Amino acid sequence: MHEIVTSGFLFPNEIEVHWSIMIVIYPYITGLVAGAFIVSSLYHVFGVKELKPIAKFSLVGAFCFLNFACTPLLFHLGHPERAFNIMFTPKFTSAMSGFGYIYSFYLVLVLLEIWFVFRPQIVSMALESTGLKKLFYWFLALGNYDLSEKTLAIDRKLILFLAAIGIPSACLLHGYVGFLFGSLKSNPWWSTPLMPVIFLMSAIVSGIAVLIICYWIVMKAKGMKPDNNCLKCLYKYLWGFFIVDLTLEMLEILTMYYEAHEEWHIISRMLTERLGFSYIILQMSICSVIPMILLGIVSLTNMKDSTRNTLGIFSSALILIQVLAMRWNVVIGGQLFSKSLRGLTTYNLPFFGREGLAMAVVLVALPFITMYVFNLILPVWQKEVPKAEG
Amino acid sequence: MNKDRRNFIKQTGWSILGGGLLISVFPLLPGSAHASKNKNHIFAFIVDIEKCIGCGKCVNACIKENSVPNDFYRTWVERYHILENGEVIVDSPDGGSDGFKPQEFKHKVEKAFFVPKLCNHCKKPNCVQVCPVVATYVSKEGVVLVDDKHCVGCSYCVQACPYGARFINPETRTADKCTWCYHRIKKGYKPACVLVCPTGARQFGRIDDPESPVHKTVKEKMLQILKPETGNEPMTMYLGLDKEVR
Amino acid sequence: MRHYNHVIRFAIILTAVLIGFFAVRGFIVPESFGVYGTYMYGYHRGNSDSEEAAQPILYYGSDKCRKCHEKLYEQESQAGHSKIACESCHANWQAHNNNTRNKVLKNGSIEACMQCHKKLSARPAAFPQITDIKQHMDDQEQEFEKGMECLDCHDPHEPL
């Protein structure tokens, strides 16, 4: 491993960075959940009809990401076997102790919604298959094959209800992750009331972006034609949310700069000396200005579908990098400067090991593999639209 | 029953239910920083900057007494050099455990001093507020302790401490920090660092006991605390603290 | 109600999971949890306090040393180092006790003295400190001989 390079003075316990890349990808994955869910709710609750082709998939996406939102934390904990202490003996003054409950609540909510949406499909699969497979689908259907019009009407109502309470829950889940950082008064880089809002906005942005890319890739892989109206609509939403997100990020740093509290000199040094690439170049220039302009052009002008999609998907990819860079800059950046405000340390990302880069890549890949498996069990892209879909 | 009436009853029912839920949940909501409302903070730790000679015996004794792992410190000593040009140079080689070597500077040294640091055992400890599993808490004497059999090792408290007093012990993989030598003070001994300090720069005792070395200091002297703006209200207090110390 | 059948099945499973959670919780949460208070203040594993307090002590203070080393204790308490605990320069009592007298640190080297008395700009000006032995001898207007050590003139127990 590389030597940790420090400059200036750090408290002797601060040399090591305690929150590693695992804590970077934890809010990243959680953010994808919130974003994907918001997209599905745009259709289910707000009736954005253009998003119909992707409504089901976004819900599945949210579910798959949600399954792995906690995993990076387990890899980071000193005692993962005690992880359930967080729910068994929660401390009610701790922001973190809420996570177990909020997460479980949200998981149940998404699971329920998915179940109602896919129920007709599960039932038909159960009726079609035989043997062990039938048993499996019977289990998924909880042994109930009732698809009468009245029952489906109830399902539709429940889907609407779940999607509606899902929106505040998604906002709560991710705003809460921002609050974990924003409420730490000991760290001037984190402690800002804007933090939860920024986290939420960047979550929505990253969720939309990942859906655009996944949708496009799946369509290409299946040899199907992507619905251009749907993509167009997604680009517009992406642009809109990204404007808000970037404005907030700018406001945060501008306020810090203008107020120039005593910690500003070390934060500005941290940003230039340590995060020059990930903050100044990635987060604030290349990956923000380019998609901002491109998405503006895509949303406001008429152009050929293929050109629009190329620009849109390129922008989405850049935005995914921007959000990842933002998480990195918040989590790692906040630990690079000393609380004595007199020195900087470095974070050396190991490649192998429990908290290494390789593990992080695997953990980010897992939700996508889950999506694939999910699609094997319950095909998401069926041509005929089941009746139950609201 | 007509429709209006039914709606009215329905609405009232929901509001009563909602209100009741809100009221019943309210006491469960995460409170502010007042984590140790009902505790008696009977102990105080006084550090006299003008007496500290930077020998590092305190750091050494602490490491031995508490088997502190390498490269981490429950207490450490910082050296401040304030130069004529206003530059402030701080160092703490190995936490000051081997003492300090003379240092040369381009500019004249205006003033210089040592600052011993340790856990502040705050009245409203940030670390206790944020611990998700109650593995760190304020004991009934007002000492902030870590329950290393319950700690999950999330390092949230390490991030929350404004003083850098906490670390993750690589052996137990749990949070670790100064306990004011809880095992010693419970039996009437001084903390190890206080015992070995050759100049009396570290003083510890009960505030309410007139015989205690800190009683008079707390009642009569002008004291300072580190980072008062955090509202943590430390019980480790300093005599002769310079404005440059964070 | 017939049309709610599947919802009820889901609810039953959810309830079972919830009950399971509380059942497991009942087994896992240590008994002494919350003996010092309810869920808010003082809520923690009660035995943790006594476990922390039960850790072994290594440094016992000079009174303990006095029991065997009365003479040295008397000698020390009359001079400049009177306020310094024995264990400050010697090893801790527990180490001495475990390994008989062998382990008592009798470090009379220059470095041992210099840890406190080396001239440092950060040390309080009034504190006795020297740059090095030669300088010190010159200041005292005495002859410096090569290889001189602090202990040639000073007894650490009565340094002046």
Q: What is the DSSP string of A331-385?
A: HTHHHHB-TTSEEE------SSSTTSHHHHHHHHHHHHHHHHHHHHHS-TT-SSP
Is residue A78's pLDDT more than 90? Answer: yes
Q: What is the pLDDT of residue A173?
A: 86
Would residue B152 count as lying in a domain?
A: yes
Type of residue found at A30:
T
Q: Do A186 and B76 touch (CB under 8 A)?
A: no
Examine the domain organization and report whether B204 and B148 are in the same domain: yes
Chain B residue numbers touching C32 (CB-CB < 8 A): none
Residue B182 and residue B156 share a domain: yes
- Of the residues A186, A330, A337, the best mutation for testing chain B's interface (the one with the most B CB atoms within 10 Å of its CB) is A186
Classify residue B60: in a domain, yes or no.
Answer: yes
pLDDT at res. A79: 96
Considering only the beta carbons, identify the residue of C61, C120, C124 that sits closest to B189: C61
Task: Give me the sign of the Cα torsion angle A28, A345, A273, A198.
Answer: positive
**Under an 8 A CB cutoff, do B112 and C92 touch?**
no
Does residue B220 lie in a domain region? yes
Buried b (16+ CB within 10 A) or exposed e, A209-242: bbbbbbbbebbeeeeeebbeebbbbbbbbbbebb
d(CA A196, CA A176): 6
Q: How far is CA A91 from the centre of its chain?
A: 26
- In one-letter notation, the amino acid at residue B79 is R
Residue C43 and residue A150: Cβ atoms within 8 Å? Answer: no
- Give the minimum alpha-carbon distance from B13 to chain C in angstroms, rounded to a whole number: 22
Residue with tokens 């390789």: A358
Give the residue-averaged pLDDT of A287-295.
96
Structure tokens at A51: 């998003």
Q: Which residues of chain B have pLDDT under 70?
A: 1-3, 8, 15, 18-39
Q: Are residues B171 and B55 both part of a single domain?
A: yes
Count of domains observed in chain B: 2
Per-residue pLDDT tens for A299-322?
999 999 999 999 999 999 999 999
CA C113 to chain centre: 21
Ordered by start, the domain boundaries in chain C are 2-53, 58-106, 108-153
Q: Determine phi and psi for B110, rounding to 5 degrees.
A: -75, -55
Same domain, B21 and B129: no
Nearest to C85 among B28, B139, B196 (CB): B196
Both B3 and B48 in one domain: the answer is no
User: Smallest CA–CA separation between A166 and chain C, in Å?
Assistant: 18
Instruction: Give residue for tokens 């809100």.
Output: B22
What is the C-alpha separation between C131 and A68, in angstroms, rounded? 62
Given an 8 Å threshold on Cβ–Cβ distance, is A91 in contact with B131? yes
Rounded to a whole number, what is the distance in Å from the CA of B229 to chain C's nearest CA?
24
Residue B132 lies in a domain: yes
Q: Please report, for residues A29, A64, A145, A356, A364, the alpha-carbon distance to residue A368 in angstroms, rounded to integers and kept in the order given.
A: 11, 7, 30, 20, 8
ipTM: 0.91
Higher pLDDT, B3 or A361: A361
Q: Which domain holds residue B130?
A: 43-71+117-239
Q: Which chains touch A (3 or more CB pairs under 8 A)?
A: B, C
Work out the average pLDDT over A30-37: 94
* H or E, element range at A62: helix A52-67
CA gap B132, B144 in Å, rounded: 15
| A20, pLDDT greater than 50 | yes
pLDDT level of residue C42 (50, 70, 90 thresholds)? confident
Instruction: Please name the member of A19, A78, A340 whose beta carbon is closest to the beta carbon of B152.
Output: A78
In this structure, the answer to whether residues B172 and B63 fall within a common structural domain is yes
B151 part of a folded domain: yes
With CA atoms as reference, the chain C residue closest to A141 would be C6
Tokens representing A67 are 């399954």
* Per-residue pLDDT reduced to its tens digit, C114-143: 999 999 999 999 999 999 888 899 888 888
B160 found inside a domain: yes
pLDDT tops 90 at residue A24: yes
Tell whether B122 and B229 lie within a shared domain: yes
Chain C positions in Cβ-Cβ contact with residue A92 (cut-off 8 Å) = 39-40
Neighbour count for residue A2 (Cβ, 10 Å): 8
DSSP A250-313: HHHHHHHHHH--TTHHHHHHIIIIISIIIIIIIIIIIHHHHHHHHHHHHHHS---HHHHHHHHH
Residue A383 has pLDDT above 60, yes or no: no
Give the closest of C88, C120, C123 to B198, CB-based: C88
Q: Is residue B59 part of a domain?
A: yes
Residues 6+ positions from A351 with CB-CB distance below 8 Å = A357, A358
pLDDT of res. B34? 46
Size of interface A-B (CB pairs under 8 A): 141
Cβ contacts (< 8 Å) between A141 and chain C: which residues? 6
Q: What pLDDT is recorded for position C76?
A: 86
CATH number where B214 lies: 3.30.70.20
Nearest-neighbour CA in chain A from C120: distance (Å):
19
User: Would you give the DSSP letter of residue B116?
Assistant: E
Confidence of residue A385 (pLDDT cuts 50, 70, 90): very low
Residue B219 lies in a domain: yes
Asked if B175 and B213 sit in the same domain, the reply is: yes
Q: Is pLDDT at C144 greater than 90 in this prediction?
A: no
Residue of C nearest to B104 (CA): C121
Which is more confident, A210 or C139?
A: A210
The residue of chain A with its CA nearest to that of B80 is: A9
Residues C40-63, mean pLDDT to the nearest whole number: 89
- For A41-73, the pLDDT digits (tens) are 999 999 999 999 999 999 999 999 999 999 999
Q: How confident is the model at residue A339 (pLDDT cuts 50, 70, 90)?
A: very high
Dist. CA A248–CA B4, nearest whole Å: 46
Residue B160 near residue B130 (C-beta atoms within 8 A): yes
